[in-house]
Amino acid sequence: MIGAGHAGCEAALAAARLKANTLLLSINMDSIAAMPCNSSIGGPGRGQMVREIDALGGEMAKNTDRTFLHMRMLNTSRGPAVRTLRAGIDKREYFLAMKKIVENQENLTLRQAMVVNIGKDKGLYFLETSDCYKYFAKCVILCTGTFLRGKVFWGANKIEAGRQGEVPSNKLSRNLEKLGIRFGRLNTNTPPRVDSKAIDFRGLKLQYYDDHPEMFSFEDKYDGRSQFNNHMTHIGEDGIDYIKKNLNGSFFAKLESEGPKYCPSIEEKVTRYPDKKSHLLFIQPEGRRTSEMYIHGLMTTLSEEIQAGMLKKIKGLKKAVITRPGYGVEYDYILPFQINNRLECKKLKGLFFAGQINGTTGYEEAAAQGIIAGINAGRMSQDKNGIQINREDGYIGVLIDDLVSRKITEPYRMLTSRNEFRLYHRHDNADYRMLKFLKIIGFNEKAQIIEEKYEKIHLAGKEILENNNFGQPTKESFYNKYKDILKGKYKLCTKDIDSVYINLKYREYIERQVKEIEKIKNSLDFEIPQKINYKNIKNISNEAILALEESKPDSLRQARRLQGVSPSDFLSLLCYLKMFHVKHRKK
C-alpha cells in the first residue's frame, strides 16, 4: 500500500483483516488519515457511502463516531432517499485514533518511506524507496492523493508540495509513465483557518447539532459527549466587490488543470455567478483542544494579504486573525478508464489504484475506493476471487462505475443526484445491501447478525400490512400504534423501526425500483470481449465507437454509462454481443 490517507488506511485495514500480509507505506507518519481541507465526514451521497464502508468492515464510520464534534441528520424534512448524517470532526483526534487502529491491526505493518519506483521481478512487484530500499509484493495499491507531482499555490507563490509543508512525489509519476500509465492534472483548494479568539460570534446564526444523534456505524451508540455548534455567516456585496478587484493575483484563471465544480473557490464563485449578492459561509471548529476555526465556503488561492482583507468584509470575522492561509494544490491523477470495476489496472494485473489518484475529491470517496481495492488485492494475494460492487448495489458501485466509464475532467464528487436508485440505496439499509459481499469475503458472523436484523424488520412490516390498514401515518403515530408489535414482539430499536416505517410508507416506489434493478442486472452482466471490433456493429454512431475504443469497457454495464453512447447505440451493441457470443459458442 502506497499512501496512508483515507484510501490507504481503508485499503490496508481491509487487506489485513482478510489475513493478507500487508505493508502500508507513508511519506509522513504524522499525517495518516489527514484532513487538509474540510474537517467533516458525510453529507448527501457521501454519508450513505460511509455507511456502506462500515457495513463492509471498514473503519471510517467508527473513527468518525470516536472523534466527532458535531453530528446531525440532514434533510429530515425531505424524503428518505436524501437523508444522511454529517459530522464535524476533531481532525487531530481522528488522525491519532486511526493511527492507533492501523498500528495495532494484526497482519499490518506501518512504515515511513517515499516510493519512487515500481517494477516487476520474478513475478512479484517491487517498490523502490528514495533510500534505494526494496519491498516485494504480489499486489500493490497506489493511494497517493495529491502528492504525484504536487504543486501548492496561493497569491504569487507556487511551490512543489503534496500538501502545504509536505514534500511531493515526482519520480513515481515518471516511472509509472514508463509502465504505460497515462495521467491528467486536477486541482483543488482550501480555505483559511482563523483564530476563534478574534471571532465575534454575537449575531451569527447557529447551526445546531442533534441532541441524541444517530451514529455512522451500525454498531455504535451515542456516548453522551458534549458537542459544538457551527456558526453561519455570509460574504456580501462589499466582500464580493473586493474579491473581483483583486483577481489579478489569483492562479485559478491561469491553471490548465480543472478544479472541483461542486466545491469551487470563492474567486470562482464570484466569477461564475456575477449577479449573486452573497455567499453562505460556515464557521466550524477544528478540534476540542485548538482555537483554530475552519471557514467552509471560503476556499481560495488568493494571497494571504487579500484573504485578510476579504475577512474584514465578513460579519463576525472583521477582526479575525488568519492562522493558516488558504491555498490550492495541483496534482497528477490517472485517467481512470485504465482501471476496471475492481480498481485493478487493466494493463498490469495486481496493480490497484484508489482515492484521489483516480480523479475523485473527498475523504469519503477515497475511503470507499480504498476498501474495495484492499479487499480485492487482499483476496488476489491469496489466490481468491475479488468482489465487484455494481451500480445497482449502492453508492460505492455508482462511484466506481462513473469513474471507469465516464471521462473525468474535474474532481469527482458523489451526489445523491448521480444515483438513479437512491430511494433503495438509503442510509438506513446500507448493511442489508452489502450483505452478499460480506458473505463472499467470509465475514459470516457479521452477515448472520444483519440477516437476523432484517428478518425481524421484514416480518414486522409484513404483519402490519396483513393485519392493519397502514394508510399514511406520521412516524410518531406509526410508532405509537404499533409499538407493541415493533418493540415488544420483534424487539426492534428506534433505528430499525424507522426502517420498517420507510419500507411501508414508500413500498410501491421501492418495489418498482427493485424490479428495475433486476431487469438491468439481467442484461448488463453481459461481458464484452476485448477483441471486439466496434466498427463492425451496425447502426452505431462514430461518437460511440470512439468512446468504446478508448474506454474498452469490460461489460454492458460500463458501456451503458459512457459519454457518447446513446440508448440506441447501447441497444445496437447489445444485439451485436448476443450474436457474437452465439457465434463463438458454436465454434
* pLDDT band per the 50, 70, 90 thresholds, residue 583: low
* pLDDT band per the 50, 70, 90 thresholds, residue 525: confident
Residues in CB range of 365: below 8 A, 6 or more apart: 46, 49, 355, 399, 412, 413, 414
* pLDDT band per the 50, 70, 90 thresholds, residue 427: very high
333-375 residue pLDDT tens: 999 999 999 999 999 999 999 999 999 999 999 999 999 999 9
Instruction: Check whether 46 has a pLDDT greater than 90.
Output: yes
114-129 residue pLDDT tens: 999 999 998 999 999 9
* pLDDT band per the 50, 70, 90 thresholds, residue 468: confident
Instruction: Check whether 569 has a pLDDT greater than 90.
Output: no
Q: What is the DSSP string of 530-584?
A: TT--GGGSTT--HHHHHHHHHH--SBHHHHHTSTT--HHHHHHHHHHHHHHHHHH
* CATH classification number, 193-328, choose in 3.20.20.70, 2.40.30.260, 3.40.50.2300, 2.40.260.10: 2.40.30.260
6-146+182-190+330-431 maps to CATH 3.50.50.60: yes
Q: What global pTM score does this model have?
A: 0.92
* CATH classification number, 525-586, choose in 1.10.150.570, 3.90.1300.10, 3.40.228.10, 3.30.70.120: 1.10.150.570
pLDDT of res. 316: 97
* Residue of higher predicted confidence among 89 and 528: 89
The grid cell for 417 is 443526484
* pLDDT band per the 50, 70, 90 thresholds, residue 255: confident
Q: How far apart are CA 457 and CA 501, in angstroms?
A: 10
Instruction: Check whether 258 has a pLDDT greater than 90.
Output: no
Instruction: Check whether 426 has a pLDDT greater than 70.
Output: yes
Query: Where are the domains positioned within the chain?
Result: 6-146+182-190+330-431, 193-328, 443-514, 525-586
Phi, psi dihedral angles at 129 (to 5 degrees): -95, 175
Percent of the chain past pLDDT 70, that is, above it, reads 98
pLDDT of res. 585: 57
* pLDDT band per the 50, 70, 90 thresholds, residue 253: low
* pLDDT band per the 50, 70, 90 thresholds, residue 249: low
Residue 275 amino acid letter = D
* Residue of higher predicted confidence among 116 and 577: 116
Instruction: Check whether 587 has a pLDDT greater than 60.
Output: no
pLDDT of res. 524: 75
Instruction: Check whether 288 has a pLDDT greater than 90.
Output: yes
Mean pLDDT for all residues in the chain: 93
Contact 147, 331 (CB under 8 A): yes
The grid cell for 481 is 400504534
Mean pLDDT, residues 282-295 taken together:
97
Instruction: Check whether 204 has a pLDDT greater than 90.
Output: yes
pLDDT of res. 113: 97
